[in-house]
């Protein structure tokens, strides 16, 4: 299924032993010996440090995309935010109570890892409780790495893990509840239900794009070593009450195994329509694979079309193939924009967003931008509008 992670016990904390008081019986030879040992240690550490520095520099020169080959156990605390919030431990009973005994009425979604329930925690906080449906060793390992990793990475652009339940038979993850669900639910009207939501306006779409870009920027460039999301898509961008976007499922996505019952699951390729072509063809995964997926989401925001829709006329079924040649053609560009966005954007804005999307989905991974570059390009687009209006409300009238 997904690439297996090796989970090792966290490195033991370095213990500091305070020096003993002097007995006054040291001889000069003892002092000299101590000086020699300390001096050798200092020289040796300096040499090792220098060698490590050279090794790191060589590696980063050879591998600008930070190819992902590291196990989850190598993940470190982020460089930008070293405060570690321990996830809370919940009993199964507490979560049973929180979700009204996992009532079908509380189900808010279902994904590859199981059902997601809306729940109220003992302290009154709303939460999304994800119940892992698999059994066996692999599921447990993935669950453990998810908990381990989400406890270490913290950003306003990533979904917060409140806690978990990991008793003998139940594996549940408890996340911050995002009352506006996923971006997917707000981009496409569902004709099969009565739930007709106002589709998102231009400004809200750009803000969510920027939040999501910042989430990926954090994973790729602000922590070391980087994390590749692998399953970046509209349903993994969740929206809170203010329509702030937060990335979810990056822990599970990254550490999933590609060896389930000896078979390769479709999940190893992420989600159909979002996966970078080089990853499909070679299995070679870099942060640029996520950049491609980001480009697909940006195209969805721009066009209101799903990544794959084979019910469309020939040549229009795969969003990237249909959109790419149009992104650089001024007339065709206007025609491809989601008609519900009419009158909400300027030509200049449209061209800028189209240029970002085109760069992200280009077939040559090396030429795709870094997420930092994407963030820098999106900031002015959002800033200009924020200066005039501050609301994030999704309706057209708020633009």
Residues with a catalytic annotation lie at 231
Q: Does 248 bind ligand ATP (CB under 6 A)?
A: yes
User: What does the alpha-carbon distance between residue 250 and residue 230 come to, in Å, rounded to a whole number?
Assistant: 7
Q: Does 236 bind ligand ATP (CB under 6 A)?
A: yes
Q: Does 160 bind Mg ion (CB under 5 A)?
A: no
Q: Does 341 bind ligand ATP (CB under 6 A)?
A: no
At residue 263, what are phi and psi to the nearest 5 degrees?
Answer: -110, 150
When the beta carbons of 109 and 277 are compared against ligand ATP, the nearer one is 109
State the nearest-atom distance from the C-beta of 240 to ligand ATP, in Å.
9
Instruction: Show contacts with ligand ATP in window 83-122 (CB under 6 A).
Output: 108-113, 116
Instruction: Show contacts with Mg ion in window 247-266 (CB under 5 A).
Output: 249
Please pick, from the candidates 204, 236, 286, 303, the single residue that binds Mg ion as defined by CB under 5 A: 236
When the beta carbons of 111 and 198 are compared against ligand ATP, the nearer one is 111
Nearest to 297 by CA among 349, 224, 359, 233: 233
Pick what 108 binds: Mg ion, ligand ATP, none; C-beta below 5 to 8 Å, kind-dependent: ligand ATP
Instruction: Show contacts with ligand ATP in window 273-302 (CB under 6 A).
Output: none
Nearest to 295 by CA among 307, 310, 309, 308: 307
Pick what 338 binds: ligand ATP, Mg ion, none; C-beta below 5 to 8 Å, kind-dependent: none
Cα angle, residue 369 at apex, residues 367 and 370 outer, rounded to 5°: 130
User: What does the alpha-carbon distance between residue 91 and residue 261 come to, in Å, rounded to a whole number?
Assistant: 30
State the nearest-atom distance from the C-beta of 171 to ligand ATP, in Å.
14
When the beta carbons of 111 and 317 are compared against Mg ion, the nearer one is 111
Pick what 109 binds: ligand ATP, Mg ion, none; C-beta below 5 to 8 Å, kind-dependent: ligand ATP
Q: Does 303 bind ligand ATP (CB under 6 A)?
A: no
- The two structure tokens encoding residue 315: 């040549």
User: What does the alpha-carbon distance between residue 177 and residue 160 come to, in Å, rounded to a whole number?
Assistant: 9
The residues that bridge with 109 in the sheet, in sequence order, are 116
Instruction: Show contacts with ligand ATP in window 158-177 (CB under 6 A).
Output: 159, 175-177
What are the residue ranges of helices labelled H in the chain?
A: 28-62, 92-98, 136-152, 183-187, 202-217, 250-255, 277-282, 287-303, 319-323, 330-336, 347-360, 371-388
- The two structure tokens encoding residue 178: 């995002």
> If DSSP codes are grouped into helix, strand and coil, which group holds residue 61?
helix
When the beta carbons of 236 and 362 are compared against Mg ion, the nearer one is 236
Q: What mask of x and - would describe binding to Mg ion in positions 102 to 141, judged by CB under 5 A?
A: ---------x------------------------------
State the nearest-atom distance from the C-beta of 57 to ligand ATP, in Å.
37
Q: Does 211 bind ligand ATP (CB under 6 A)?
A: no
Residue with tokens 């299995």: 283
State the nearest-atom distance from the C-beta of 132 to ligand ATP, in Å.
10
CA 222 to chain centre: 12
User: What does the alpha-carbon distance between residue 223 and residue 75 come to, in Å, rounded to a whole number?
Assistant: 9
Q: Largest alpha-carbon pair distance within the chain?
A: 92
> If DSSP codes are grouped into helix, strand and coil, which group holds residue 159?
coil
Query: Applying CB under 6 A, which residues contact ligand ATP?
Result: 108-113, 116, 128, 130, 159, 175-178, 181-182, 231, 235-236, 238, 248-249, 271
Query: Applying CB under 5 A, which residues contact Mg ion?
Result: 111, 236, 249
């Amino acid at each position: 299924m997904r690439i297996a992670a090796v989970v090792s016990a966290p490195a033991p904390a370095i213990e500091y032993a305070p020096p003993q008081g002097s007995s006054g019986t040291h001889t000069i030879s003892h002092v000299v010996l101590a000086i020699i040992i300390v001096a050798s240690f200092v020289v040796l550490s300096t040499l090792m440090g220098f060698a490590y520095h050279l090794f790191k520099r060589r590696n980063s020169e050879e591998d600008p995309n930070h190819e992902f080959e590291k196990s989850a156990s190598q993940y470190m605390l982020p460089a930008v935010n070293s405060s570690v919030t321990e996830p809370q431990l919940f009993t199964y009973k507490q979560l049973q109570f929180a979700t009204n005994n996992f009532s079908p009425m509380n189900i808010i979604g279902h994904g590859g890892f199981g059902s997601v329930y809306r729940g109220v925690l003992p302290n009154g906080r709303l939460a999304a409780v994800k119940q892992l449906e698999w059994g066996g060793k692999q599921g447990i390992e993935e669950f453990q790495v998810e908990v381990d990793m989400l406890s270490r990475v913290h950003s306003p652009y990533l979904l917060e893990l409140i806690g978990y339940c990991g008793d003998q038979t139940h594996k549940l993850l408890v996340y911050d509840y995002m009352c506006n669900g996923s971006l997917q639910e707000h981009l496409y009207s569902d004709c099969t239900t009565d739930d007709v939501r106002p589709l998102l306006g231009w400004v809200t779409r750009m803000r969510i794009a920027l939040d999501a870009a910042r989430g990926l920027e954090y994973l790729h460039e602000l922590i070391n070593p980087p994390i590749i999301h692998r399953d970046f898509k509209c349903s993994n961008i969740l929206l809170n009450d203010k329509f702030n976007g937060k990335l979810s499922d990056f822990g599970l996505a990254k550490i999933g195994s590609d060896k389930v019952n000896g078979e390769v699951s479709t999940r190893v390729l992420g989600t159909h329509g979002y996966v970078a072509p080089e990853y499909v063809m070679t299995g070679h995964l870099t942060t640029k694979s996520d950049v491609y997926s980001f480009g697909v989401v940006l195209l969805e925001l721009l066009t209101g079309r799903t990544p794959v829709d084979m019910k469309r006329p020939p040549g229009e079924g795969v969003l990237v193939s249909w959109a790419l040649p149009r992104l650089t053609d001024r007339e065709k560009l206007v025609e491809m924009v989601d008609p519900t966005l009419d009158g909400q954007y300027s030509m200049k804005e449209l061209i800028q967003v189209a240029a970002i999307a085109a760069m992200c989905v280009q077939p040559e991974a090396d030429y795709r931008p870094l997420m930092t570059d994407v963030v820098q390009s999106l900031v002015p687009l959002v800033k200009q509008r924020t200066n005039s209006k501050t609301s994030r409300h999704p309706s057209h009238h708020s633009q």
